[in-house]
Structure 1
Amino acid sequence: MNCHLRQTKWFSSFLLAAAFIVAMPDEVRSQDSLVPPVVVELGWEIELVLAEPDIATPVMCVFDSQGALLVIESHTHFPPENYAGPDHDRILRLSDSNQDGTLDRREVFFDQGKFTMGLAVLDDGWIAVSHRDDIIKIRDTDGDGKADETVTLATLDTQANYPHNGLSGLAANSDGWVYFGQGENFGEDYTLVAADGSKQVGGGEGGNVFRVRTDGSQLERVATGFWNPFGMCFDSENRLWSAGNDPDAMPPCRLMHVVPGGDFGFEFQFGRGGTHPLQSWLGELPGTLPPAAGTGEAPCAVVPIGDRLWVASWGDNRIEAYRLTPDGATLTSQTETILQGDTLFRPVGIAVAPDKSVYITDWVRRDYSVHQTGRIWRLKPTAGQPVTAAQPPLSDDEKSAVAADAQNKIDELLELASTTDRYLAQAAVTKLSLLEELPAAVSLNEFSSQASLAVLMAWRWRELCNPSSVSEAQRQALITWGLSSNDQACTLFSLRWAAERKETALLSKIENVLSLPKLSPQLFEVTVATISYVKNGTARSGVRDPARETLLYTLAKNSARAADLRALAVQGIPAAADHPTNQELSEWLAPNVGDTLQREIIRLLIDRCVSADAEHQAVRTSAVQTLQSIAADMQFPISVRADAVSGLASVARDHQKFLSKLNDDRAIPNEIREEAQRVLSSIAGIPNQKRPPVEDLDSWLQLVGKGGDAEAGARVFQRSTCIKCHLHEGRGAMTGPDLTSLAGQTRERILKSILYPSSEIGPLYVPWKIVTVDGDVKIGLKMPTPGVGGSIAFQASDGTPFYVKLEDIEFHSFSRQSIMPNGLEQTMSIGELRDLLAFLAPDTSE
């Protein structure tokens, strides 16, 4: 199915003003032969300001109150053996000595520091500086161009020492606070202490944003749930923004509107992959907030320029822009490209000069290690491009969110917290957490489910900011109430809270959630994840977690459990799991267990037919035999037998005799015979049927817009290329959007996505065209790969991954063609297409 069907607002059209080429040279060019990044957006021109040896591995930059450019020059970020540079970082000061518009004077403003990350301008000549383990402020008191006064504002005490996942991003405005980010810190425990002794403690909860007064007092936690909020800024309306990186297996990186008390969903203790059911990346879990937009890989600086926010994408070698669109009490956006470079363009910092030109620091190489190479570029507006920050004014909903901070009446705050606008509700929740008389667990039955969730959120935030302010008894009473709530959101929230606190004392109550009637797949998965984590402390990283699989197997084999629960358990078991064996699956397939469980068992057997490798041929053989047995057994429902027939599609050539026998036997029900015929057609070819031209949407709608068999459509999805890229009800791949939620879409929209897959492509699914030095051309989606290895991973249109070494790439660029292939409608019969549409978007008008 078409990758653009994801319904998150910011996954809409990706704006790319011009094509560009990304060269992959083996060595850094000489300064005379430097090729600047391509200016994609009209109205700008680019020039080189500085290059090595005059600048090395620059990071963040900012213009001070005198119009000089301060630039962090990193020398401590993984220095190689026998590194020739200094053993500490430096902050350079570049200024114009003769008012000719060029920064011709270079001075070392601050000649010390380790793992220096960020800069922000404060009042009275002070400059805030973030290192991995502290926030300081420095200034030049005697006018000699060198900082001679240093004051420590906050210090981080932790065992972790990785350079850029501690303290990092900095932002300041006129309210007397310094805001700073903290990365995931490898989940290690930490104590953050301000100069006045105020402190915040934690560990495992992921990245955070804190703030401290410019005199080093009143340290406070602002928000949580980040991977690494490396870039931060205030826009023209004093909104706080952060550009943060993504976990190992959960793109995209995010542009986030940071609000007090906000939880953006990532927790390191549940695994660095980002795919754990107790983690939220796009606001999937109750109590978490969605981002404003997805960004390019490894975003660094975020800066307000004109009516947009500019973001430096280190990993995708470009400068992006985000025009903000009001959406309730927050804003959303889409990606635009300003500047695109080759792989020797690694932008980090962005700063606006007094003359309204834009300066960009460039790390140059893909290496994390410092390498004494660096650039500074200057973008000059040439066609009246607006540079002064002018983001949208606060909406009425945003003003209501701001006003919530002055509200002290619990009833009014609970009413506000019950709104469907999550950012507006969050403002009320944060204020609730500060009230002395926050409702206790015994009062929650008096409130609506939305108000009860708000109270749970407020207590959890209070505990995160001040652990001693919430007793164990209070926390357990609140979680217990949520676990027994009739509201799924409250239960999901309480499960996550219980896992965070490793509430072994509540394990039996957590397990009781599995006995609730009509468990949703999400509630089941989160409950299983919580039990596994509380019992074993393990978190699934990717697909496999032995503790989780053991629990799923235990639930699936328990015949005393409800069939629907057992079905959910089978659904979660990977095909490669040792248990259950195919023999066990066959034994579980009693005709009286219900078709939901039967179908999940069949789907697992089908997965084993498809995924078994050469070393597991016996697994595949027994799975095929079991499917054949079900297909021929009249004790099973017809639809279940048809599912088993469909499952033979991947091995159809080897079992044509069996399939032909089913097709030819007129005593066999038509549904099963038709399925056998469809599977045989995958070998012989689709029947020659008259079809409208692909451009004639109206005729296609008349042909397949109504009718069809949803159960047969599920089988089409299972055996076609759809499942290689898409999930549906827990089965399939995650390359494209999960199609489970398409029931609310019209058939016309889904049909359009099949007929015209490239008409609209969301940023997450924009494929790349790669041309190798040998002249090969490949198309694929870039896959998430941690670190800075020697190759780039992609996924082809058939769902298979492939890797291209960096030195083998001549150039690569975005492709306007969807990864979903054209002509998908030609790979199935008219009846199959009609059935597929009935499955994805049931026709409720009939």
Structure 2
Amino acid sequence: MRSFPARLFLLLWIGVPSVFGTNVTIAESPQPPKVLRDGWSIELVAAEPDLVTPVACCLDSRGRLLVIESHTHFPPEDYPGPKTDRIHAFADTDSDGTLDQQSLFYEGGRATMGLVLLADDWIVVATRSDVARLRDEDGDGVADRREVLLRLETKAEYPHNGLAGVAVGPDGYLYVGQGENFGEPYELTAADGSQQVGGGEGGNIFRLRPDGSDLQRVATGFWNPFGMCFDSRGRLWTVGNDPDAMPPCRLLHVVPSGDYGFQFRFGRAGTHPLQAWNGELPGTLPYAAGTGEAPCAVLPVGDRLWVTSWGDNRIESYQLSPRGASWSSRTEVVVQGDTNFRPVGMAQAADGSIYFTDWVRRDYAVHQTGRLWRLVPPDRSQAFESSIAAKTHREHRADALRSSESVSQLIAALDHPDPFIAQAAIAALADSDRLGSLTLQNVPSDLGRSRLLAAWRWRSMCDPQSVQPSRRDALIHAALSTHGEQTRLVAVRWAAELQQPQWLEAFETLLQDDDLTPRLFSACVAGITHVRDETAPRGVRDPAREKLLDEIASDASRSAAIRALAVQMLPAESKEPTDDELGSWIRSDSEGKLARESIRLLADRSSQSAVEVLQSVMTDSDVPSDRRADAVAALAAGGRTEILLPAGIDQDRMPAEVQTELERVNASAESVTGETRPAAEDIQAWMQLVGSGGNADAGRRVFMRAGCQSCHTHSGRGAATGPELTSLAGQNRQRVLESILKPSREIGPLYTPWKILTVDGDVLNGLKTPTPGVGGKLAFQGTDGKRFEIALEDIQFHSMSDQSIMPEGLEKTISINELRDLLAFLTPQP
């Protein structure tokens, strides 16, 4: 047992002998992170050598703070030990509100991740491979009894993608989070023998009784639900990491049978067409908010949820705003540290203080440093009182649906536009004995049928024996035979998950449908390659999928519409089809769709051979004029501010559409800026100029050459740095105009940029881009669309910015006519 004054660690000395018997160099005065909430103060409670690499924490019934100290998370070869993890207890022995005594509560276990207190003084501890409960039977302050409640059997061994987060629900159940487990098959067995099995479906949340009985699956589709909590209204919240190429990390409102979209079997990038991250696929649910990188804990504090962000060196706050039967929020930063601040676990004491652990370094390997901090509110009584938002009428309706026995009521709710209302009906039907009597014919709408199919899929996942393969296959076949996109998408996804060759013919049959939507086409192609090649792409690009897309694009027996979709989905880096092949399709396509997509792909490639093909198209009098004009825009998209015609080609003899595009590209900056135009703030004056009219085809060319697609995707091509813009079709033109004139007025949480101050005094701005794993650099995309990296040791400070990554002044770089055309392209009316 060790006693220490509250602020001893504010005056640490160098070379203190560690608890492992070696010297550890410690900074004389650890720099506290900045507290950005008025009136709150911060204190350092403990640090190395007394506490190293801390993870989760919780308070026990005696008011002691229990803290996991990790020694098994990637220990280096020369790590001196101990060989197992520890749990320390920090106590306030004189009731002055300060933790003044440290003792060892428990030693044992590997890859220990989660802690929570049960109602009867048991302490639940989650390691990667099991969940156990600990108890101090003889009252000496040390746990002397351990009972395993849940075991995870699997080949995967990575420390923090197995079992981790734990929380106790208002229903008395213990909720347990499981990470993606590298997609490996697993068996999860509770103490009473109840089981859940799976593999490849991504992270899950399960629940079981505190005695280790009645194991059930609650929700799926996570990367890693590492931190979990219940708020005072009974809602379950979780935070978890993001895939390699699909930010952001997420704060999620978890509801029974919810599918949050991610499946490891389809690759770790998160960009596979059969994966969702924000409710993009039918039957999946959106997140409440994007969070900072590597969120580890979520905790209700007052009227907000607080989240620790290990990767962004901060603690965040989320005030909830109602969104149907769920909630949304935006990030506010409460505490911001430097690159040596890595908050992990959080717990709130009875006096309102917030304790949080600090891993300190970016290294995943244990490293003999660590911190324990205390945040003290200005009014401790008010800080502890929970004032989280009460349940809305929609939430109460969802609760009622989950317990409804009225099949007609549940079927009607399947068609509800609020996905959380519909999910309540899915949960009730999946758990109902009457599900077996329902078929797709019982539901009138495409959306409703897709959700009924989702209920069957959930039943099959949780209780495989209850859905016979013949019944499952009949349901999928029936769904693939419908004409609704939503139902067929769920069916393609379910069939691809099964990875059975029998579904290849059904997928190929769908590809014969000329009216196939881009999303369903992409899902079918992805389903074929997943089943046929039995591989998951490791990155954003999938060689097997690209090969199939090239085969479809090159197949002259297919319709031009289907071939155009294939070209649309090929990345610029693809080698096939060749530039010359694309050039031939531009000339031979009788409908125009294939030609247009071929030109867009050539523009993205921007190689010398692609430029030569585009130049030949531009000057070929046998090519339709709209394609020649597109070729001009494509050439300008490569950064050319002037396009010179070959000798002997007279611009005045070219079609008017081509001449106009050439004139726009070759116009001098003076001729553009010389136009009289209103101030950016005068929206109504701008609306009088560009609020109606315009040529959408010409606007498509403006979009191509004005650099828009260096950040935005439209019709399947472009970058995903900014919002996808195809969905603007039918939107209010004024709202879109406002976002162009004043891009910083409203910034979506996914697209919040960062301001970086370097040690050399440089100030940089950029949007943080995915950097998988642990490295020595952070990556950003600048306002020019180009990616840059900064070494961690070169960063003095970085924080979120209120200035959009989209630069202001686009309206000054193009003519008024071009802006009008651009708006006509972005907001076509039905």
TM-score band w.r.t. shorter chain: over 0.9
What's 1:645 paired with? 632
Q: 2 CA distance for matches of 1:765 and 1:29?
A: 40
Q: Secondary structure at the residue paired with 1:575? A: coil
Cα deviation 1:751-771 (Å, max 9, x = unaligned):
222222222222322222223
Task: Identify which of 326, 349, 361 aligns with 2:345.
Answer: 349
Q: 1:558 to 1:56 in 2, by over 3 A?
A: same
| Runs of 5+ unmatched residues, structure 1 | 1-27, 613-619
1:212-611 pair list within 5 angstroms: 212-383=208-379, 385-439=382-436, 444=441, 447-609=444-606
Q: 1 CA distance for matches of 2:36 and 2:646?
A: 56
Q: 2 CA distance for matches of 1:306 and 1:655?
A: 59
Q: Secondary structure at the residue paired with 2:109? A: coil
On the 8 A contact 1:48/1:377 being kept in 2, the answer is: yes
Q: Secondary structure at the residue paired with 1:493? A: helix
Q: 1 CA distance for matches of 2:53 and 2:736?
A: 48
Deviates more, 1:684-693 or 1:245-254: 684-693
What's 2:167 paired with? 171
Q: 1 CA distance for matches of 2:575 and 2:332?
A: 47
What's 1:828 paired with? 814
Cα deviation 1:85-127 (Å, max 9, x = unaligned):
3111111111111212211111111111111100111022101
Q: 1:831 to 1:143 in 2, by over 3 A?
A: same
Q: Secondary structure at the residue paired with 1:110? A: strand
What's 2:106 paired with? 110
Q: Secondary structure at the residue paired with 2:667? A: helix
On the 8 A contact 1:649/1:682 being kept in 2, the answer is: no
What's 2:795 paired with? 809
1:777-796 pair list within 5 angstroms: 777-796=763-782
Deviates more, 1:278-287 or 1:813-822: 813-822
Cα deviation 1:740-789 (Å, max 9, x = unaligned):
11123322222222222222222322222223333333221111101110
Cα deviation 1:657-688 (Å, max 9, x = unaligned):
317976x5333222110111122237897463
Q: 2 CA distance for matches of 1:386 and 1:673?
A: 68
On the 8 A contact 2:642/2:665 being kept in 1, the answer is: no
Q: Secondary structure at the residue paired with 2:616? A: helix
What's 2:734 paired with? 748
Cα deviation 1:228-273 (Å, max 9, x = unaligned):
0000011101111101111111111111111110000000010001
- 2:488 maps to a residue whose letter is T
Q: 2 CA distance for matches of 1:523 and 1:500?
A: 16
On the 8 A contact 2:161/2:224 being kept in 1, the answer is: yes
Cα deviation 1:333-364 (Å, max 9, x = unaligned):
12111111111111111111111111111111
Q: 2 CA distance for matches of 1:252 and 1:436?
A: 38
CA shift for structure 1 position 833: 1.5
What's 1:40 paired with? 36
What's 2:19 paired with? none
- 1:589 maps to a residue whose letter is I
Q: Secondary structure at the residue paired with 1:735? A: coil
User: What is the root-mean-square deviation of aligned Cα atoms in Å?
Assistant: 2.0
- 2:234 maps to a residue whose letter is N
Q: 1:682 to 1:796 in 2, by over 3 A?
A: farther
Q: 1:430 to 1:813 in 2, by over 3 A?
A: closer
What's 1:630 paired with? 617
- 1:405 maps to a residue whose letter is R
Task: Identify which of 133, 147, 158 aligns with 2:154.
Answer: 158
Q: 1 CA distance for matches of 2:535 and 2:813?
A: 43
- 1:350 maps to a residue whose letter is M
Cα deviation 1:58-108 (Å, max 9, x = unaligned):
111111111111111111111112212311111111111121221111111
Q: 1:564 to 1:441 in 2, by over 3 A?
A: farther
Q: 2 CA distance for matches of 1:624 and 1:31?
A: 58
Task: Identify which of 662, 681, 704 aligns with 1:718.
Answer: 704
On the 8 A contact 1:591/1:635 being kept in 2, the answer is: no
CA shift for structure 1 position 820: 1.2
On the 8 A contact 2:241/2:293 being kept in 1, the answer is: yes
Deviates more, 1:500-509 or 1:207-216: 500-509
Q: 2 CA distance for matches of 1:517 and 1:592?
A: 15
On the 8 A contact 1:85/1:372 being kept in 2, the answer is: no
What's 2:92 paired with? 96
Q: 1:256 to 1:163 in 2, by over 3 A?
A: same
Q: Secondary structure at the residue paired with 1:377? A: strand
Q: Secondary structure at the residue paired with 1:556? A: helix
What's 1:17 paired with? none
On the 8 A contact 1:476/1:506 being kept in 2, the answer is: no
Q: 1 CA distance for matches of 2:769 and 2:721?
A: 9
What's 1:774 paired with? 760
On the 8 A contact 2:269/2:540 being kept in 1, the answer is: no
Deviates more, 1:170-179 or 1:791-800: 170-179
On the 8 A contact 2:52/2:367 being kept in 1, the answer is: yes
CA shift for structure 1 position 404: 2.6
Deviates more, 1:507-516 or 1:147-156: 507-516
What's 1:8 paired with? none
- 1:723 maps to a residue whose letter is Q
Cα deviation 1:282-341 (Å, max 9, x = unaligned):
000001000111111111111111111111111111111111222222122121111111
On the 8 A contact 1:207/1:229 being kept in 2, the answer is: yes
On the 8 A contact 1:187/1:204 being kept in 2, the answer is: yes
| Runs of 5+ unmatched residues, structure 2 | 1-23
What's 2:8 paired with? none
- 1:272 maps to a residue whose letter is R
**TM-score normalized by the length of structure 2:** 0.94
1:206 aligns with 2:206: no
CA shift for structure 1 position 475: 1.3
Q: 1 CA distance for matches of 2:128 and 2:668?
A: 58
CA shift for structure 1 position 479: 0.8
Q: Secondary structure at the residue paired with 1:230? A: strand
On the 8 A contact 2:57/2:115 being kept in 1, the answer is: yes
Task: Identify which of 144, 150, 158 aligns with 1:148.
Answer: 144
Q: 1:438 to 1:527 in 2, by over 3 A?
A: same
CA shift for structure 1 position 601: 1.2
**TM-score normalized by the length of structure 1:** 0.92
Q: Secondary structure at the residue paired with 1:438? A: helix
Q: 2 CA distance for matches of 1:639 and 1:459?
A: 49
1:728 aligns with 2:714: yes
Q: 1 CA distance for matches of 2:733 and 2:483?
A: 34
Paired residue total = 806
Q: Secondary structure at the residue paired with 2:253? A: strand
Q: 2 CA distance for matches of 1:600 and 1:546?
A: 20
Q: 1:650 to 1:353 in 2, by over 3 A?
A: closer
Q: 1:783 to 1:593 in 2, by over 3 A?
A: same
On the 8 A contact 1:595/1:637 being kept in 2, the answer is: no
- 2:104 maps to a residue whose letter is V
**Percentage of pairs with the same residue:** 56
